[in-house]
Amino acid sequence: MTIANAFAFGVRIRIVVFFFCFNALLYMSFSILRDDWRRLAAYHLYPSTSNVTSDDLGSDTVASNIVENVASSTVTSDLSPKPQFAGKANATLVFLARNSDLQGVLRSMESVETHFNHKFGYPWILLNEEEFTEEFQESVKSKTNASVQFGLIPSRHWYQPDWIDEAKAEQGRNALKAWNVIYADSVSYRNMCRFNSGFFFHHPLLQPYRYYWRIEPDVDYFCQLQYDPFDYLKDNNKTYGFTIAIEELEKTVSTLWQAVKEFMEQYPEYIHPNNALAFLSDNGGETYNLCHFWSNFEIADMDFWRGEAYTKFFEFLDLKGGFYYERWGDAPIHSIAAALFLDKNQLHFFNDIGYQHSNIVHCPQQPAFLTGSCTCNRVLSIDYRRYSCLPRYNKMLNRKW
Ligand SMILES: Nc1nc2c(ncn2[C@@H]2O[C@H](COP(=O)(O)OP(=O)(O)OP(=O)(O)O)[C@@H](O)[C@H]2O)c(=O)[nH]1
Ligand SMILES: [Mg+2]
């Protein structure tokens, strides 16, 4: 090749590289503009001045047996333009809270609305063992265009049952206190754990719904969810979705696994042949490795909790008294049931939902991080750190990540 030919060849290569880079830049700019436009459109198409009736939420979300005092909390106006929400699943956002949780409730609602629900308009249900104040109800309603209902929890679903031996329960609380276990001496915390384990899905307001997303005060969401997670569960035959899997404090569940083993012996028919026992135990079920899905975030199918296996399981455990004699949490109870009674493929890790509760974060790795325009710090994600049970979950499913 002569020098002149080599020079011409070099120029051609540069021209080709230039056009390639130019086209790539053009495509990236177009994609960014298109996504921005979509986001803008999403915000502007759904005006913030009106509330939505149950008719707007699709026929399968109509609350047919709404309790009277609760229905009055949903305001509708025929004059206002109606938001065009996309969510059509038979699903609701469930929030257990106290009046004193108001600021944390508003913060969490804002995060859920911004990252998901402003597009989908799923109804909110807030539950409390005491009446919510007017201030609480008004503030909550101002945070969403979707319908909001406030429900009172029946006393029998909340308070420590009479058949619990209070002297033994007190001993249990003192023992945990001596170990500096968080919420060691709180009876209300135990009421809450028992209610979340065995009763929330029986509340009259929740009866019309099948799927729920559990929200807690002061949680943060970091990624724009581009799809409907309820539809995802339904379309993919999934039952229980989580974002964080970690180890439980051993002192709070000292005798839980013994009770679970008794249940398994007594009711082998409920144990799924393709279960997720490997997530719960590292020795084939002899001992519990303390792994559980963190239940402050749950997107799941309430029909599973309402079904025969879970009903028997909860009743069996409740009679052991461990909610009060120890401090059994709803997270290990839900997780153990889901892992044992379901096919392991019915569990779902919502990797693309960036989430934080207290100081624990799940932040998606690439490419979900980019797809969701996530604002969390991936370096802080709990996924592969100490106490995370995600590696066990992945190993069980023969997944690397
Ligand atoms: N109505 C009511 N709700 C409660 C009570 N205790 C806790 N909750 C709610 O139950 C859920 C779990 O309680 P949290 O205090 O968040 O418990 P946690 O997540 O284990 O601990 P932190 O969030 O770290 O404090 C939250 O939605 C609380 O608002 C209670 O006594 N009454
Ligand atoms: Mg919490």
Q: How far is the CA of 98 from the centre of ligand 1 (A)?
A: 8
Res 36: pLDDT:
31
Q: Relative to the CA of 101, which ligand 1 atom is closest?
A: 29
**Residue of minimum CA distance from atom 5 in ligand 1:** 192
265 as an active site residue: the answer is no
Please give the Cα distance from 88 to 90 (Å, whole number): 7
| Half-sphere exposure for 350 (CA within 13 Å, toward CB) | 30
Domain holding 295, by residue range, is 154-198+236-396
SS3 95: strand
Total domain count, the chain: 1
Instruction: Report, as ranges of residue numbers, the positions in the chain whose pLDDT lies below 70.
Output: 1-82, 401
Does 253 map to a domain? yes
298, 308, 315, 326: the catalytic one is 298
The DSSP bridge pattern shows strands 245-247 and 291-293 to be antiparallel
Does 88 map to a domain? no
Residues 6+ away with beta carbon under 8 Å from 259: 316, 317, 320, 322
Res 23: pLDDT:
56
pLDDT tens-digit map of 302-349 = 999 999 999 999 999 999 999 999 999 999 999 999 999 999 999 999
Please answer whether residues 47 and 118 qualify as being in contact, where contact means their C-beta atoms are separated by less than 8 angstroms: no
Res 60: pLDDT:
27
Does 49 map to a domain? no
Q: Relative to the CA of 153, which ligand 1 atom is closest?
A: 1
Query: Residue 183 is part of a domain; what is its CATH number?
Result: 3.90.550.10
Q: How far is the CA of 116 from the centre of ligand 2 (A)?
A: 20
pLDDT tens-digit map of 243-281 = 999 999 999 999 999 999 999 999 999 999 999 999 999
Q: What is the distance, to the nearest Å, from the Cα of residue 281 to the centroid of all Cα atoms in its chain?
A: 23
Q: Which of 125, 131, 115 is closest to 147 using CA atoms?
A: 125
Count CB atoms within 10 A of the CB of residue 105: 25
Q: How far is the CA of 192 from the centre of ligand 1 (A)?
A: 7
**Residue of minimum CA distance from atom 15 in ligand 1:** 189
**Residue of minimum CA distance from atom 25 in ligand 1:** 358
Q: Among 94, 96, 107, 243, which residue has the most ligand 1 atoms within 8 Å of its CB, making it the best to mutate?
A: 96
Give the ligand at the shortest distance from the Cα of 127.
1
Does 174 map to a domain? yes
Res 83: pLDDT:
72
- For the record, the structure tokens of 26 come out as 């053009």
pLDDT tens-digit map of 31-57 = 333 333 332 232 222 222 222 222 222
Q: How far is the CA of 104 from the centre of ligand 2 (A)?
A: 10
Q: Relative to the CA of 215, which ligand 1 atom is closest?
A: 27
* Stretch (H or E) spanning 259: helix 256-266
Q: Relative to the CA of 216, which ligand 1 atom is closest?
A: 27
Res 5: pLDDT:
56
Q: How far is the CA of 158 from the centre of ligand 1 (A)?
A: 13
- For the record, the structure tokens of 59 come out as 């026929």
Q: What is the largest CA-CA distance in the chain?
A: 99
**Residue of minimum CA distance from atom 29 in ligand 1:** 97
Does 17 map to a domain? no
Residues 6+ away with beta carbon under 8 Å from 26: none
Res 66: pLDDT:
29
pTM for the whole thing? Answer: 0.82
Res 59: pLDDT:
26
Res 84: pLDDT:
78
Residues 6+ away with beta carbon under 8 Å from 114: 221
Does 344 map to a domain? yes
SS3 264: helix
Q: How far is the CA of 120 from the centre of ligand 2 (A)?
A: 24
Q: Relative to the CA of 191, which ligand 1 atom is closest?
A: 31
Residues within a 6 A CB radius of ligand 1:
96-98, 101, 128-129, 188-189, 192, 216-217, 296, 358
Does 370 map to a domain? yes
**Residue of minimum CA distance from atom 31 in ligand 1:** 188
Res 92: pLDDT:
98
Does 387 map to a domain? yes
**Residue of minimum CA distance from atom 28 in ligand 1:** 97
